[in-house]
């Protein structure tokens, strides 16, 4: 990673912020995007204290022009782009029969179109560097999760997009990684959208039992270094993907049971 340039969307909290630190400490120059200026500056102070060369861009990846500007500022600041880490994302927690359709639109706009927009504008530079495109996805991209219909749909769409892109780019030497953490101790659940589109503000899960964002970031860094195609994390995540492939009917029942416990606050 020495002197590589890494653009991380949604880099002000959770996995994105942890990746900014991990890649930066490995020698990369880091660009982070975020919608909240205060959080951007807070993350910038941390990166400065660690001696990490960085640049911040206030941008919403769900807005095409913002994604284009984020890439343009990266090139202006550092003259190249070696790794694009599509991390920006939002979640939801509501039954589909109760959810406002605007919630589904917002998730698709950020999680899917944000990845599409940023990758589109970054691609010429990644072709030049034979770099890496990373999609920070989810187990929900392999297995639809009840209460998260919009989130699952956006991650399935991300998987299809990046898998097709990987195949297109095989002759041109660009690496594409799908990174799928299981449940991770980050703030994505606290800001998950409720049925009416408001932020839920709390998590139904015990964060202390989960893999930390810092651990996830180290796994992603290693996967980029080794140019892996897929990364599935946590034993629960790996088991879910395995069972869904080979015993899908059983997995339906197990996932539903798990969802009911979550609704009751028993996790």
Quick one: how far is CA 145 from the chain centroid? 17
151 is catalytic: yes
3-state helix/strand/coil string of 167-225? HHHHHHCCEEEEEECCCEECCCCCCCECCCCCECCCCCCCHHHCEEHHHHHHHHHHHHH
Please state, in angstroms and rounded to a whole number, the distance separating the CA atoms of residues 143 and 241: 7
Please state, in angstroms and rounded to a whole number, the distance separating the CA atoms of residues 27 and 25: 5
Please state, in angstroms and rounded to a whole number, the distance separating the CA atoms of residues 267 and 260: 10
Please state, in angstroms and rounded to a whole number, the distance separating the CA atoms of residues 152 and 144: 5
Pairing of strands 29-34, 184-185: unpaired
CA torsion through residues 52, 58, 63, 64, sign = negative
Q: Which of 151, 156, 161, 183 is catalytic?
A: 151
Question: What is the set of active-site residues?
Answer: 151
């Amino acid at each position: 990673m020495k002197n590589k340039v890494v653009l991380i969307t949604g880099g002000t909290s959770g996995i994105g912020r942890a990746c900014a630190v991990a890649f930066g400490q490995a020698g990369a120059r880091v660009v982070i995007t975020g919608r909240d200026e205060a959080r951007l500056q807070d993350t910038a102070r941390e990166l400065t204290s660690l001696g990490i060369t960085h640049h911040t861009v206030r941008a919403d990846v769900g807005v095409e022009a913002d994604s284009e500007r984020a890439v343009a500022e990266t090139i202006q600041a550092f003259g190249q782009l070696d790794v694009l880490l599509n991390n920006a994302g939002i979640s939801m927690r509501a039954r589909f029969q109760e959810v406002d359709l605007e919630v589904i639109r917002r998730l698709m706009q950020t999680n899917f179109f944000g990845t599409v927009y940023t990758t589109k504008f970054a691609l010429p530079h990644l072709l030049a560097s034979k770099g890496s495109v990373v999609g920070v996805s989810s187990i929900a991209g392999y297995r639809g999760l009840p209460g998260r219909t919009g989130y699952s749909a956006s991650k399935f769409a991300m998987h299809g997009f990046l898998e097709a892109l990987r195949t297109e780019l095989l002759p041109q030497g660009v690496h594409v990684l799908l990174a799928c953490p299981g449940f991770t101790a980050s703030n994505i659940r606290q800001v998950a959208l409720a049925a009416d589109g408001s932020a839920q503000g709390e998590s139904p899960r015990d964060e202390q039992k989960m893999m930390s964002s810092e651990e996830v970031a180290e796994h992603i860094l290693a996967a980029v270094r080794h140019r892996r195609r897929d990364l599935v994390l946590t034993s629960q995540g790996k088991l879910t993907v395995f069972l869904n492939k080979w015993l899908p009917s059983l997995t339906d029942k197990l996932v539903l049971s798990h969802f009911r416990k979550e609704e009751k606050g028993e996790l």
